[in-house]
Chain A
Amino acid sequence: MRHTLSVMVENRHGVLARVAGMFARRGYNIDSLTVGVTEDPTISRMTIVVRGDDEVLEQVTKQLNKLIDVIRVSDLKAEDTVEREMALFKVSSDVNNRSEIMQIVDIFRARIIDVAPKSMIVEVTGDETKIEAIEQLLRPFGIKEMVRTGKVALRRGAKGVSS
């Protein structure tokens, strides 16, 4: 089971190391972790995707809450959450297949953000399934490099994680 945790932390020196260290020490598996500023400059939001059953999730949540710099932990349920991830793919391409790649990019509402004689870089934003789908389609052309940001997520509607 995968869970998406939204973790509000003090925007302070060392907080990422504390969170990452706790996961490593207790042997919990992180699929992805993103961190960035929020509407309040003293608070950062970490979006952490963890793998584990409900008991593991409960322990992870409690251990996170034990960290002094962690202000709030919320388990985001897929039904009431919007989530996005961005990926960049550097794809081998030349004049012969460029238009074919551009078609795929169009269908996925992705973008081409760099073109070179032998490659181009595709930017795509979406949920995990979308990113995995476009990756499948780009692979035959040859993916030279790729990078994914990891998931960011917010709860839908007026009720937030911070409230």
Chain B
Amino acid sequence: MTGSTERMTGARALIECLYREGVDTIFGYPGGVLLPIYDELYSSNIRHILVRHEQAAAHAAEGYARATGKTGVCLATSGPGATNLVTGIANAYMDSIPMVALTGQVPSSMIGNDAFQEANITGITMPITKHNYLVQDVKELPRIIKEAFHIASTGRPGPVLVDLPKDITTDMVDFYYPDKVELRGYNPTYQGNLQQIKKAAAEIERSAKPVIYAGGGVISANAAAELKELAEKIQAPVTTTLTGMGGFPGNHPLFLGMPGMHGTKYANYAIQESDLLIAVGVRFDDRVTGKLKSFASNAKIIHIDIDPAEISKNVKVDIPIVGDAKWILSHLLKYTGKSQSEKWLEKIEGWKKQYPLHYMEPAGDEIKPQYIVEQINAVCPDAIIVTEVGQHQMWAAQYFKYTEPRTFISSGGLGTMGYGFPAAIGAKVARPDKVVIDVSGDGSFQMNSQEMATIVQNNIPVIIAIFNNGFLGMVRQWQEIFYGKRYSSTCIRDSVDFVKLAEAYGALGIRATKRDEVRPAIEKAIASGRPTLIDFIVECEENVSPMVPAGAAINEILDLERKE
């Protein structure tokens, strides 16, 4: 149809644009200014998932994007609908996830007059979007939508917001969809500099203690296969950040687990002692680096990243290579041989044996939270695990062996409680073939529990596994360690009967209070094929261990195991 034109409303044109971008699902919530768009959606082939709070629409769009690599789309009305998206947009921005957020806006003639349900959402989201648009003429709409999807999904991905005044959606336009975008201010670099790549190769071959530090960029660049090949070829151990989980097989002998605050001891020791740190698609976040001055202070640093602004932002880099991780790694593979790491790998093996991740077995039949993660892993090793934020999130990162990219979805940069459940909805809608489990906390779940209605109404069989410790556990842990156990406003015991809550929504509710009920509960949830909530009553004062205190060097890592 490209080339020929047809006259239609802006709302209809929007749907046409979304078809052309291959959008099959939108997560949204209607409102006054969206009526023309919702009327078009009524007869379109795009699946619209009605959430119960717009924040969930944004997180679900992100979960969809993370599970597939495609751009997620959410839709909210003007004013409060749009501001409810803000947390979700900020989350996608921090973790560089491709997303297009569409918002209704009051009619153009009323903008700036404090009209009913007017909020300056382009102004509000300027610092948390990769770019945003206020459509001022319906003729610009197709170009803007085309650009929005292009910007969101290329270079360093991120959220783009398009604000649509109501009159734009009713104005008529001769529809024409452009084939390509012309953005003279936007030209991401994909191909790395070969000179730099050769330099990196030379450093690798010279290195006796290389470590690969890989992050979310490996996942978004679909570079996991190249990363594995590189690690095996140069014989370097690999640590993956929270957002990089699944970017390298968790059961691989070269895998070190996660670095940083709740990373493994051996990952942190390896980074601190390494002579060459090969950083791929990471941003040297403070939760990873600890005290910056002493981070990898013996190492030369190679930094591969698509975003030039990340180079030497926090840590001075010796060999920057800007470009697409997949492209760069596949070229690096051509130039580099093996490193000199035999002794180093032996040393790391020693550390792994000496300082494994571990937890105290319970004296009786209480449930240890780490045990639940292990059991989930045992029952369904290829599930997509989505998490909320808190202790349960760290245990999900530490104790599950992710073997494929896009199977671990968690809020990294922003650390948003309430993210996991709606993100799990997005992931399950995108990957109905997969078991999708939201590893949740009793606190986090209550931040978006209203989405139970969404999964029941749409029959989206997500499994919510609540690690019910009666606390805002991660905050309680800090209070225990740094504030003398003064548990100020962190006890949330007996908030609600989660099983009854699930049942009230028409979902399956299961409670497990003993160790030997854990596995059957998981199996029952999966077998049911229904939206299911499992309330795991866990040890209430378990701590996430090991831990680097904020501001310390990452090798100053403590065991926090509770001695009974």
Interface of A toward B, CB cutoff 8 Å: 9-10, 13-14, 17-18, 21-22, 25, 55, 58-59, 62-63, 65-71
Instruction: List residues 95-130 of chain B with CB under 8 A from any CB of chain A.
Output: 122-123, 126-127, 130
Determine the chain A residues whose CB is within 8 A of the CB of B184 once the complex forms.
Answer: 10, 71
A14 and B122 in contact, given A65-B308, A66-B309, A68-B131 (Cβ under 8 angstroms): yes
Sample of 4 more A-B contacts, CB < 8 Å, known A17-B123, A62-B309, A63-B309: A21-B127, A55-B312, A62-B308, A65-B309
A21's nearest neighbour on chain B, judged by CB, is B126
Say what secondary structure dominates the interface of chain A. helix
Is B185 a contact of A70 with CB atoms below 8 Å? yes
Check: B1 CB closer than 8 A to any chain A CB: no
26 pairs of residues in contact across A and B, judged by CB atoms under 8 Å:
A10-B184, A13-B134, A13-B136, A14-B122, A14-B134, A17-B123, A17-B126, A22-B127, A25-B127, A55-B312, A58-B312, A59-B309, A59-B313, A62-B308, A62-B309, A62-B311, A65-B308, A65-B309, A66-B309, A67-B131, A67-B185, A68-B151, A68-B183, A68-B186, A69-B185, A71-B184
Check: B307 CB closer than 8 A to any chain A CB: yes
Is A66 a contact of B122 with CB atoms below 8 Å? no
Rounded to whole angstroms, the CA-CA distance of A77 and B26 in the bound complex is 50
Rounded to whole angstroms, the CA-CA distance of A22 and B128 in the bound complex is 11
Determine the chain B residues whose CB is within 8 A of the CB of A10 once the complex forms.
Answer: 184-185
A66's nearest neighbour on chain B, judged by CB, is B309
Rounded to whole angstroms, the CA-CA distance of A140 and B126 in the bound complex is 46
Determine the chain B residues whose CB is within 8 A of the CB of A14 once the complex forms.
Answer: 122, 126, 134
A24's nearest neighbour on chain B, judged by CB, is B127
Determine the chain A residues whose CB is within 8 A of the CB of B123 once the complex forms.
Answer: 17
Rounded to whole angstroms, the CA-CA distance of A67 and B155 in the bound complex is 12
Determine the chain B residues whose CB is within 8 A of the CB of A63 once the complex forms.
Answer: 309
A55's nearest neighbour on chain B, judged by CB, is B312
Distance in Å: Cβ of B148 to nearest Cβ of chain A: 10
Is A68 a contact of B130 with CB atoms below 8 Å? yes
A62's nearest neighbour on chain B, judged by CB, is B309
Most A C-beta atoms less than 10 A away, residue of B122, B127, B184: B184
Determine the chain A residues whose CB is within 8 A of the CB of B311 once the complex forms.
Answer: 62
A18's nearest neighbour on chain B, judged by CB, is B126
Most A C-beta atoms less than 10 A away, residue of B136, B186, B312: B186
Rounded to whole angstroms, the CA-CA distance of A23 and B309 in the bound complex is 14
Rounded to whole angstroms, the CA-CA distance of A17 and B122 in the bound complex is 11
Rounded to whole angstroms, the CA-CA distance of A2 and B82 in the bound complex is 40
Q: Mark B269-285, 1 if CB is under 8 A from A, else 0.
A: 00000000000000000
Rounded to whole angstroms, the CA-CA distance of A70 and B130 in the bound complex is 13
